[in-house]
Each structure stands twice: as C-alpha cells, then as structure tokens.
Amino acid sequence: MSTPTTTTTAPRSLPRIRPESLLVLAASLFGLAYYKWSGAATAIAGVRRTGAWTRSADALIHAATVPSAEFYIERIAVALVFGVLLGAGLRLCASPAIIERLTAGGSLAQRQLVAAGSGVPLMLCSCCITPVFSAADEAGAPVASSLALMLASPALNPAALVLTAMLFPARIAVARLLGALIIVLAVPLLAERIVGQRRAASRDVRVTPLAPGTGTRFVAAYLRSLWRTAIESLPIIIAGVLASALLIQRGAQLGVAQRSDALVLAAALMTLVALPTYFEIPIALLAASAGAPALAAVILIAGPAVNLPSILTVWRRIGMKAAIVLATGVWLVALMAGLAVRA
C-alpha cells in the first residue's frame, strides 16, 4: 500500500532586477526629494517669516489662454522632468510579477495606505504624477492602488497642508485635510468597484524586459522606457493644460462665489483646471479675502487633487468610467466640504 504524498508549492521568487535599474530609480527619487522638499522648506520658512503668502497667481488666472498655459508649463517643467524620469525608472523595475507579489498580501485598507504613503513624499502636482501613475498601472497595480498613488501626491502634499494651516482659519484647514483623505482613500475604491480590478497583465503590458546583459543593452532599455513614458504623457498634459487655461479665463468671475449654485460650478471648474503646486493657495486666499470661505475650501480641495490632464490620463489607462468616477468624486467631496465650511 503506497503512502500518499502531499505536494507543496514553493512561493514564487521575485524576478531579478538589475542593480542599474534600482540605481536609476533611486537617483530619480533622491533628485525629486531634494528639489521638492527644499522648495517646500523655503515656502514654509517664507510664510513663517512674513506671516503671509507673497507669490501671485495673476500670470495664471488673468493672462490670455496661451500665455497662461506657457506660465503653467514653465512652473512645472522641472517637476515634470522628474515625473517622467521616475515613471521610466518604475517601468524598468516594476514588472507585473513584482506588483502582483507586493499587492497579494494584506487587507485592502493596508494596500491603500501603502499606495497613498508612496505618493505623499513625491509632492508632485496632478500633471507631473501622471507618468508615475501610468507606469504603476501598466505594471499591474490594482486600480484603487494606482489611483491612490496618483491622488496622494498632490492632494496630501504635506507642505501644502502645513501652509494651509498657517494661512487659513482652522475650519478651512481641517476641511482640506479631511476632503483630501476621502479623495485619496475612498474615491479610488469606488472607481475600482465600478470598473473592476483589471490588471495590466490583461491589457497589453509592455513593461521593458530586463534580462541580464551588457551595460549597452541596459542603456538602450532605459532610453526606450524614457521615450515611451514621455511620448505617452506629454501630449495629454499639453493638450489638457491648454484646455485648462481656457477654462480658467471662462471661470474667472467665480472668484467671489458663495451661493450654492455658484459653488457647484466652482467645484466643477477647480476639478478640471491645472494648477502648479501651491498655486491653489493664492487663489483660495483671494476667495477668502472676498468673504467666500466656502469657495476657498473648494479651491484648496479640488484644485490640487486632479485636473484635465490627469483625468484624461486615467481615461486612457483605465477607461471612461474610472475617469468619470474620479472627476465626479473629487467634485462632490470639494462641494460638500465647501457647504460644510459655509454652514
């Protein structure tokens, strides 16, 4: 009589990642951290020293469409370069097998917190984070996780939250923090529930293969990844910024809005327009000084969270339903926060 045997499946090991890939990704991260965190420290120190915000947003909101778009691109140029470099590096390192292993364990809440925590230190604006979002989604990150990463970078920017607490009444600062948390942690879950947990492995994954080889092969692979990241991200960003600049001109009269119907339109406008990092602050200060604290809260919540370029990127990567859920969720959270501040 034979003795039955049991077969155990050994856990799959992670695919080997070339050290050069990690070095490129680490260099991009360290460069971005130095640029963003040193700039954040300077901004906070300036407000602490003067007690006021001294940077103007006139060139963005009062210029004609093309000059406004040019000003925006100029303001985000360095951060956008880092976003593209980081997205290209992530494509080299984050294969579907790695993403699947990293997201296989833990509860849904844990995965969302990890994804959001990964985005917060980047402090990239809604446009500049899109190459990183695209790379994470392409590698197979769950819909909710990739969206949380994308939203956390601008919405939970720690320096922006500190500056808001320094410059605005407590109820507006609290509204911004709570609204951002809902947008980052809840809206992506709703989007995933509606569109399903589609993974990049089932959507024509084209992550750059990194088989062992010579340094020349690695450089070629990195340049391909860099080209793909740039060519997929920049046209959407430029087109979205131009459309956003046009919307800013059309919505300039909402600067003193306080009525509920005007807040509805203002929340929709701020969900779509593209703002460089911290530029929601001077615009919100104008609203607050005009006696519209509810509008200030709407601007601070919806302004940095998403914009036309990021919504269009989600549409292209995940689909129309996800983009609509994202935009509607941000609009609704900002509107509710504004109404709560006004009450």
Residues 331 and 319 sit within 8 Å (Cβ to Cβ): no
Residue type, 293: P
Interatomic CA distance for residues 303 and 276, integer angstroms = 9
For the chain, 343 residues long, give each residue's pLDDT as a single digit of tens. 444 444 444 444 555 556 777 788 888 899 999 999 999 999 999 999 999 998 888 888 877 888 889 999 999 999 999 999 999 988 887 666 566 666 666 678 888 898 999 999 999 999 999 999 999 998 888 899 999 999 999 999 999 999 999 999 999 999 999 999 999 999 999 999 999 865 444 444 444 444 445 567 778 888 898 999 999 999 999 999 999 988 887 665 554 455 666 889 889 999 999 999 999 999 999 889 888 899 999 999 999 999 999 999 999 999 999 999 999 999 999 999 999 998 7
Q: What's the token pair of residue 60?
A: 């963005």
Would you state the structure tokens that stand for residue 61, as one six-digit string? 């909101």
Contacts 24+ apart (CB under 8 A), 337-340: 337/175, 337/176, 337/178, 337/179, 337/297, 337/298, 337/301, 338/175, 338/263, 338/266, 338/267, 338/294, 338/295, 338/297, 338/298, 338/301, 339/260, 339/263, 339/294, 340/175, 340/297
Contacts of 4 (CB under 8 A, 6+ apart): none
Q: What burial letters (b/e) apply to 290-318, b meaning 16+ CB within 10 Å?
A: eebbbbbbbbbbbbbbbbbbbbbbbbebb
State residue 291's pLDDT score: 87
Q: Is the pTM of this model over 0.85?
A: yes
248, 280 contact by CB (below 8 A): no
The residues spanned by each domain of the chain are: 19-47+55-197+211-342
Q: What is the C-alpha to C-alpha distance for residues 115 and 92, in angstroms, rounded to an integer?
A: 19
231-to-80, 103, 224, 226, 322 alpha-carbon distances in Å: 13, 28, 10, 9, 22
pLDDT at 252: 56
Distance from chain centroid for Cα 41: 21
